[in-house]
Amino acid sequence: MSKKRKHPYHSDFLNEMSVEDFMDAMSNDNRFKHLQIFLSKKEKAAIGDLFLLTSRNGFSIVRLVNLNYQDEKIVFDLLNIEADKIFSLPISIHERRFQYLFLNLDDITNMISRMNLTENRASDPVELDIIQP
């Protein structure tokens, strides 16, 4: 007899996933395409990474402390860097509308640094050598 494969949204399947499996699924896996909420130049996001967490209502810098699955929700434990407080953010696996987006903070700061270098080069005065006859 062949073992029946569990559907990707079946709670037993989700309960068996590791934190790394969830992070991979939310970064670049089709099982949770609607939950691909981590934008990072790294292959996948990881526990301990810093993010700019954005929503329709605002944004904040957070550190991903942990995540788990319960009651058909992925629950993110996040440290709000400014307030120095941990809070939980549940996201339903069935939600199809944008609620949150995690932008890797290292990627943002690297982009800004590159942009500042480019702007500084463009604003530097042009030095000309004066040739004496």
Chain centre distance of CA 86: 17
* Domain range for 88: 11-122
Residue 105 domain flag:
yes
CA–CA gap between residue 69 and residue 67 (Å, rounded): 7
Residue 5 domain flag:
no
Residue 17 domain flag:
yes
Q: What is the pLDDT of residues 66-117, one digit of tens each?
A: 988 888 888 999 999 999 999 999 988 887 777 898 898 998 898 888 877 6
Residue 83 domain flag:
yes
- Number of domain units in the chain: 1
Residue 79 domain flag:
yes
Residue 128 domain flag:
no
CA–CA gap between residue 70 and residue 105 (Å, rounded): 27
Q: What is the pLDDT of residue 38?
A: 72
CA–CA gap between residue 5 and residue 95 (Å, rounded): 24
Question: What's the pLDDT band for 15 if we cut at 50, 70, 90?
Answer: low
Residue 110 domain flag:
yes
Report which residue type is found at 90: P
Residue 75 domain flag:
yes
39-73 burial, b if ≥16 CB within 10 A, otherwise e? bbeeebbeeebbbbbbeeeeeebbbbeebebeeeb
